[in-house]
Each structure stands twice: as structure tokens, then as C-alpha cells.
Structure 1
Amino acid sequence: MTVADVETRARVREQAQGVAAGWSGPDTPPSWALTAELFRSIADEPDLLELAAAIPLDRLPPLLLSAALRALVTRLAPAPLAGYFPVPGSGQPPLDEGFRPALVAFARENADELARLCAEHRYQMNEVARSADVVAVLSRLDPDRPIALVDLGTGAGLGLHLDRYRYDFGGRTLGTPDAALTLAPELRGRPAPLPARMPEIAARLGVDVEPLDLDDERVRAWLAACIPPETSAVDRFAAASEIARTHPATTVRADLVDDLPALCARMPEDALLVVVDTYVTVFLTDEQRAGFRRSLLELGRDVEWISVDPLVPLGAEGRESTQYLRVPPRALEATRGGVTGVIGHLSVRRDGTSSGEVLGLAHPGGAWLEWL
């Protein structure tokens, strides 16, 4: 093994440990244990780490391997391994000491197929619970002004349906009681704000380098495999997928840096342009990130950019906001403890001036929301 190989494995191990840390802790619900153990296994077990380390670092090796494992387990249904993973409406199966050896044996037996899946797919976590992080920021906007919503890295477009979900922030609610999906994150720190009412969405557009069609059964199966194996996350994805399929929204294949001006020009001028990115700009290069921000400043119209992204560089050493905002000490502290979303809001005015701030922190799977 070369020095480069050793360094790569160390970085992949650190990534896996960071994800595991985000699903661990003394106050986490029992249903989180499987996700934490899955990523600890990738970090600790040589067979799993070898598979992950063969994936280019910019393709999120631990996350991509976890999705490949789940996809193949779902397809082959091996006993007893398949029984550890929840399916919609099943609740969380119990986790015991048999999980890790069963996982390692399965990976060893199916190493070639797992490698193929990782080579042919990319990791896309369409976690609809992050919509609660975005809605909290909408409370800062004029509720009487319609918005034109642009969702970057939209994937399957679940984030385009903010107004079709119900939100429960510690008993304060937004949305119709009969909504098919309610998002109720645990609130930490100061009470997170909730708009008195949802702004009218006059237009909605999803942007992705690879938009995904939820009517394609194979696409749905892969996206389901990218969801953490936690019962509420599994149920949320199933419900949100049906909402998105019932209300098709426009999504386009485009580059969010190069094509941004032309895409925004398609949105109605009389609506407030709201650009949302959740776990997207964190994966751009420094040059791309700077170019994206510059494009927003040069649009010549009012823009509200809502970002829910970890600090960069991704990992425990993250220290900078993807929006180039001042990072409060609490955000740095949370980043050291595991992958954490940092909620930022940048307002851009027609003349190219801007102002913004980091507002809160969020669990990567939308389980909790901490307002600063």
C-alpha cells in the first residue's frame, strides 16, 4: 500500500466517522443507532474501508458505499441482514451484535457488484426534512410578496414542494392539518421562527446536473437507498415522493454556476427570487463557489439565497461558510462534533450589494434545528 493509499483511507475513515458522529450521542433516539453503526462499520472494517477508498474522494465514498449496500440488500434480501433495515411503515427493526458481521460478510461476497454500483451511480440524499430549515428562514421575508423558488441540486425535486408540507415547531404549526407529510424537527437553542403563513410560490424551478424522474422505478429505488436507514426518514421519503409525483414541477439539467443567469431570467420579475441550496455548494470547488456567488451579485435583481451546508472544507476542519458569511463560534464547535448543516441567509440587492448572516445549525437528516 502506497503513502497515497494510506492517506486516502484515512480521509475516507474520517468522513465515515463524521457521518456516524452526526447520528450518535447520548440523547439520540434508538432509531438512529443503525445509521451510526453502518458508518462506523465502514470506518472500522477493512473490507468495507477498502471498497470505500476505491471511490474518488469527491464522490463521497462512505455515503455512496452505504447507498450501494442498501440498494443491493434491498434487491437480494439476504437473511439476516435485510431484516435490520426499515421499510416504509415498518418501524425500526431492533439492532443487535449480529449486524456488523452480517454486513461485512455480505460486502465481501458481493464486492464486485458493490463496486459496479458505486461506479455507475452518484450519491443523492433527497432528504425532505431539510425543508424545515429553509422554511425557518422564510420567516425573514415579506409574506405578502410571491416568491419564485429556484432549488439548486434539486435531485428528485422534493424541495420544490415546501408549501405542500406541514411543519410543527414545538406545537407551533404551519400548513394544513391534513397534509400527507408533517416535518417536526427537534428544536434546540432559541426557538426557531416559523412564518405566520407560507408565501405564495408563483413559480418553481429545480436545477441539477442530473435531474431525477420519480416515475422511474429504478430511480426511486436508488434514491430510497440513499436515505439513512432510519424509520422516520424512510417514511418521509416515501410520502414526499408521492407528493412530488402528484404535483410535477419543472426541473432542468444545467450547471448551477454557468447557467444560473439564464435560469433566473426565466423566473417572473414581479416575484421575489429565492435561491435555495441544501448540501450543494459545499461540494463545489473554491473557484466554483466564488463564481456562483459572483453570478448572484450580478443578476441585477433582488435575490434571497438560503443555504443549508456544512462549513468548508467538508469535515472536522471546516471553518468557512459557503456563503462567505461570518461563522459564529457555536458553528465551529458543532462542526468539530460531526457533520452539521449551517443555515445561512444572504440578501442580494439589485445594485449588487449584499448582507447576510449565519442563523442556525441543523442535523444533516433534518432531525433537529438549532437557532443561534
Structure 2
Amino acid sequence: MTEHAQLADTFERFAAQQAAGKSPLYETLSQAVARTPELLDLAAGTKPGQPAPNMLLGAVHHILRRGVQHPLASYFTGHEALEADRAAVLLADFCRRHAEQITRTISTRSVQTNEVNRCAVLLPAFAALQQQLDDRPIRIVDVGASAGLNLLWDRYTYDYDGHRLSLPASDPDTVLTCEIKGATPPLSLDVTRFARPVGIELNPVDVTDPEATEWLVSLTWPEQTTRMRTLNSALTLAARTPPTILAGRAEEHLADVVATAPADQHLCFVFSWSIYQIFGSPGGRERLVDTLAELSRQRPLHEISIGHFGHDTPHMIMARHESGVSRSDVVAYCDVYGTWLDWLAKPAEHLKGASNP
């Protein structure tokens, strides 16, 4: 298969598997790219290892959000239906006019989304963890933290099926909404038990840099207006008190955090769809477990991971690693964006590769 054919297939799969039912605009535009050689040539300049559809469409969105005048803009802001034939013409014209900026963007930047609403499915896991542990402080370490917005989980207000949950430092204007589908999850927790969290990220997004945060917002799909408002609100909070993020490779920082964290703290690593970015795929989950099991010979470690793990529906795993032995259980199913949570009354059998002697 030629490079063009491979890239066209990538855009077709993005349209069918990711954008369909979620973003009619991106579904139509992705299909337009797949059948337009000129646009495939442009998309071929995407930074290696980055998803070309997200990068190209994100770059277009990024430019349009700056107020550039073009007929394509109305479809990004008004969410009008865009016909397939017109999509190819408009997108090709826009990309031709802004080819230099698009090329610079897609060849140097990366996709770094920060799904704030995932905190709505993480909070019950934090509550469950607190119930299991003694009264020593708990330090959350978010691995693959992006801009570190999930480190501010105690600053948001939560809405579970109309039940409003406010924590002592909750911002009433930043509300994360989540539908409960299964058993009632644990929601009661004492935030004073949690030490200041820390993130680990290869390329942290500087929440005080308007250009960096604008790119983060541009990666949000145009129809997802609620998601975009939540992201902007969380970024405003983060700019006031920037989260602590360790820049660099996760594999290196994991060992450092384990070695340097105060002995009187419980240590919990959180992976929210970041395992395969760090440990590769397939087998990323197994490599993570091996890593944490080995590190647990120094001190007990806890883990909360969310991902597909080979399934159509995302799973939430809670694990304990101690003295080289790991035990993991599936405690919930959830949505990629954290909009619903199916908490299991009894944890499901742990996943393959999650138990190591």
C-alpha cells in the first residue's frame, strides 16, 4: 500500500470509528481529506507518531479560532451540515491559503488532550482508595498529565445525576457532569487526607502560556461545546495556581517519585488512557504491572488506570503492588470523556497480566 493509500485509510477509519456519531463535521472533513490528493500531501507532514486526522483538523480549527475569515468558519462555529462535495472544495481552498502555518503546526506540535471530565470517574476511585487505607496522607501522581488539569480534581464541582457535590475548594462555575449507570459509587471523601498531587509528562502544557493553552482548546472538536467550556474554565483555574508537573520520560520519573516520596505517605499512580503512550501497544498494561511490581519492593504502591485494555468499553482498574506482587481488579466501566460511570458492586476478576509473583 502506498503512503497516500495508507494515509487515506487512516482518515477513513478516523471518520468511521472516531468522528461518526460524535462530530459530523470532522467525519465529513476526514472523508474529504481521504479522497483529495492535495490534502493528503499536506497531512503527510504530520510529526511522526502523531495521529494525522487530529493534527490536521486541529490545526485548521486553531487558525479559524483566531478569527480568520473563510467560508469554512461558519461550519466550525454554527455547526451547519456540510455537504461532502463542498467540504472537499472549502477545506482544500482553506489549506492552500494557510499551508505554511498548517505545515508548521502539524510538523512541530503534538496531540495533548486533557479530558477534565474524567475527574468525575476518578473521584469515586479516590474515595474508594481512601476507604481502604489508614489515615496517612495520600499522594496522587498523574502519569501523562498533559496540562495537569486532572491534578485539580478537588477544585471542581461535580454533578452525578442531578446530585451536586461540592468540595471545600470547589469552583461553582466549573461543573463536571456524570451519569451513574451501575451501583452507587463511593463519593464521600476527606480532601485534607490528600497531599499536593504531582504530574509526570514528557512535554507539559504550560497553563500560563496562552498559545499553548489555545492549542489544547483547538484540539477539542467544534461540536463539543460543553467540553470546550469546561476545558476553558479549568485552564483559568490552573493559571491561578499552576499544578506541579515533572517534565520528562515517565519511566525515569516513576522510580524517582517512589524513591523520594515521604515514607509516611501512600503513593497512588493514575494512568488515564496514557499507558500505551508510555509503555507501547500491545502489552503496555503488562509492562506497566511489571514496572510497578518491581518498584513496590521499595514500598507499597497503588494504581488507578483507565483504558480500553482490548475491550470496546473502557475499564477502570484499581491495583495494589507490594513486595513485588500485584493484585488488580476492574472496579468500573466508563465513557472515554467521563460522561457516565458504571460502578461495579463487586470488583470483577482482575485482567490478564495484572498479577505478578
TM-score by length of 2: 0.81
Q: Distance in 2 between matches of 1:210 and 1:74?
A: 23
Instruction: Name the structure 2 match of 1:190.
Output: 182
Q: Distance in 2 between matches of 1:57 and 1:343?
A: 30
**Equivalent residue letter for 1:109:** R
What runs of 5+ residues in structure 2 fail to find an aligned partner?
A: 345-357
Q: 2:252 aligns with which of 240, 252, 258?
A: 258
What runs of 5+ residues in structure 1 fail to find an aligned partner?
A: 25-31, 87-92, 312-318, 320-331
- Aligned partners of 2:145 and 2:199 also within 8 Å: yes
More deviation, 360-369/38-47: 38-47
Q: 1:278 aligns with which of 272, 283, 287?
A: 272
**Equivalent residue letter for 2:291:** S
**Equivalent residue letter for 2:127:** S
1:168 matched to 2:159? yes
Instruction: Name the structure 2 match of 1:19.
Output: 18
Q: Distance in 2 between matches of 1:252 and 1:206?
A: 6
- The alpha carbon displacement at 1:12 in A equals 4.4
Q: Distance in 1 between matches of 2:210 and 2:171?
A: 27
Go from structure 1 to structure 2 and tell me whether the alpha carbon gap of 1:223 and 1:56 turns closer, same or farther (over 3 Å shift): closer
- The alpha carbon displacement at 1:165 in A equals 0.9
- The alpha carbon displacement at 1:8 in A equals 4.3
Q: Distance in 2 between matches of 1:44 and 1:17?
A: 14
Instruction: Name the structure 1 match of 2:214.
Output: 221
- Aligned partners of 1:126 and 1:227 also within 8 Å: no
- The alpha carbon displacement at 1:45 in A equals 5.4
Give the SS at the match of 2:251: coil
Alignment of 1:343-362 (within 5 A): 343-349=316-322, 351-362=323-334
Q: Distance in 2 between matches of 1:183 and 1:73?
A: 27
Give the SS at the match of 1:150: strand
Over the aligned positions, Cα root-mean-square deviation in angstroms equals 2.8
Query: What do residues 289-347 of structure 1 show as CA deviations (whole Å, max 9, x unaligned)?
Result: 65443221122322221122233xxxxxxx2xxxxxxxxxxxx3xx2xxxx54322222
Alignment of 1:53-72 (within 5 A): 53-55=44-46, 58-72=49-63
Q: 1:243 aligns with which of 233, 237, 251?
A: 237
Instruction: Name the structure 2 match of 1:9.
Output: 8
1:342 matched to 2:315? yes
Alignment of 1:21-36 (within 5 A): 21=20, 23-24=21-22, 33-34=24-25, 36=27
Instruction: Name the structure 1 match of 2:352.
Output: none
TM-score by length of 1: 0.78
Q: How many pairs were matched up? A: 330
Query: What do residues 263-297 of structure 1 show as CA deviations (whole Å, max 9, x unaligned)?
Result: 23332322221111212112232476654432211
**Equivalent residue letter for 1:282:** Y
- Aligned partners of 1:127 and 1:227 also within 8 Å: no
Rg larger for: 2
- Aligned partners of 1:47 and 1:107 also within 8 Å: no
Alignment of 1:64-103 (within 5 A): 64-75=55-66, 77-86=68-77, 93-97=78-82, 100=87, 101-103=89-91
Alignment of 1:85-234 (within 5 A): 85-86=76-77, 93-97=78-82, 100=87, 101-143=89-131, 144-176=135-167, 179-187=172-180, 189-191=181-183, 193-199=185-191, 200-229=193-222, 230-234=224-228
Q: Distance in 1 between matches of 2:243 and 2:254?
A: 18
- Aligned partners of 1:165 and 1:181 also within 8 Å: yes
Instruction: Name the structure 2 match of 1:314.
Output: none
Q: Distance in 2 between matches of 1:136 and 1:155?
A: 22
Q: Distance in 1 between matches of 2:91 and 2:335?
A: 26
- Aligned partners of 2:45 and 2:107 also within 8 Å: no
- The alpha carbon displacement at 1:104 in A equals 4.0
Q: Distance in 2 between matches of 1:288 and 1:178?
A: 36
- The alpha carbon displacement at 1:70 in A equals 1.0
Give the SS at the match of 1:298: helix
- Aligned partners of 1:256 and 1:292 also within 8 Å: no
Q: Distance in 1 between matches of 2:79 and 2:51?
A: 28
